[in-house]
Amino acid sequence: MGPDPAVAAVRLAVRSALGPLPPGSLVLAACSGGADSLALAGALAFEAPRSGRPAGAVTIDHGLQDGSDVRADTVVRTLAGLGLDPVGSIAVSVGTHGGVENAARNARYDALDGAAGRLKASAVLLGHTRDDQAETVLLGLARGSGARSLSGMPSSFTRPAGDDGASVSYLRPLLDIDRVTMRRACLAMGLEPWDDPHNDDPSYARVRVRHEALPALEKALGPGIAEALARTARMLRDDADVLDDLAERAYAELADLEGTGADTGTDTGSDTGSDVFVGIRLDGLGDLPRAVRTRVLRMAAVRAGSPPGTLAAVHVDAVDRLVTAWHGQRHVDLPGGLRAFRRYGRLLFGPA
């Protein structure tokens, strides 16, 4: 008799994720102790030895709740009991910049980067599910974001692991599995998940989407909303990948300046010569399809130093009007103390 269908589904997803990784390389699971990541860890503990790979796990203590260190120790013991090795917890300090959720996410990934780099892990597995993907898409929709944001979370991505130029691969093998299946898998494996009280705190937008928005959509439109949103995200990601590739090519053809203010004939008021300007030739820029052109403009602004997290569609649209609807307007102010303006047949991005 085979395993419970929920367990089989999670194991199959993990097995598929392990397949392309280097033989014999260490794989880590990031585990909070919740049902999703705990089922992931259990499946990894089963599949990794069968694929000839060592497997470990890391839990992050964010210190945001009383007794979080005790909870982290409990998770470590559970992970060790699964046969994962090495296992450990990492305590992080969560700031306030960008909100608690964003600060906690940044601290968590920094800690995982460090652990993967020290242990020379080939990949870190994350327990995000189809429901998480659906919530991400709705949050992006509420922000009025474009295809890249609505494409949700990628199934894989990389982050720098340290100063040596190495990178960490992150994999999300569970994006096609729902949260109910993950909890059922935990029960079938004899694992007792921890329910984070933050997951029921309506002060967080994601919690409101989970407990209010998605159920309302299911009631109004029928079942299968989460699955449909996740499927939409996959299709939009394919589209966004193609558009980004076209924009990279267009940027390479049209960008003819990346340097200091002295190169533009502009007085920046700086004696350091460190102010970066990016210039895009206007000739040809206006002929690009808008979906490609706005991506080129965003690339130029980011490369000039505008923070991508605060560079919004409204900023890019205003810059686009300097290309397509210019009537002598002087400039557009951008996040990060930058400014976009026309000069000498170029659209320039540089310090205000």
Q: What ranges make up the beta strands (E) of the chain?
A: 27-30, 55-61, 87-91, 123-125, 156-160, 167-171, 255-260, 276-281, 332-334, 338-343, 346-351
Tell me whether residue 131 is annotated as binding: no
Residue with tokens 């203590």: 61
Beta-bridged to residue 255, according to DSSP, are 280
Nearest to 3 by CA among 138, 187, 164: 187
Sequence letter at residue 276: V
Beta strands 255-260 and 276-281 are: antiparallel
Tell me whether residue 51 is annotated as binding: no
Q: CA separation (Å) from 218 to 26, 45, 202, 228, 238?
A: 41, 35, 19, 11, 26
Nearest to 161 by CA among 149, 170, 152, 153: 170
Tell me whether residue 32 is annotated as binding: yes
Structure tokens at 199: 């997951």
Structure tokens at 144: 């009025």
Beta strands 167-171 and 156-160 are: antiparallel
Nearest to 57 by CA among 91, 25, 23, 82: 82
Tell me whether residue 83 is annotated as binding: no
Q: Are 96 and 64 in contact (CB under 8 A)?
A: no
Tell me whether residue 33 is annotated as binding: yes
- 148-185 burial, b at 16+ Cβ within 10 Å, e below that, comes to bbbbbbebeeeeebeeeeeebbbbbbbbbbbbebbbbb
Residue 136: φ, ψ to 5°:
-65, -40
Q: Are 124 and 112 in contact (CB under 8 A)?
A: yes
Residues in binding site for ATP: 32-37
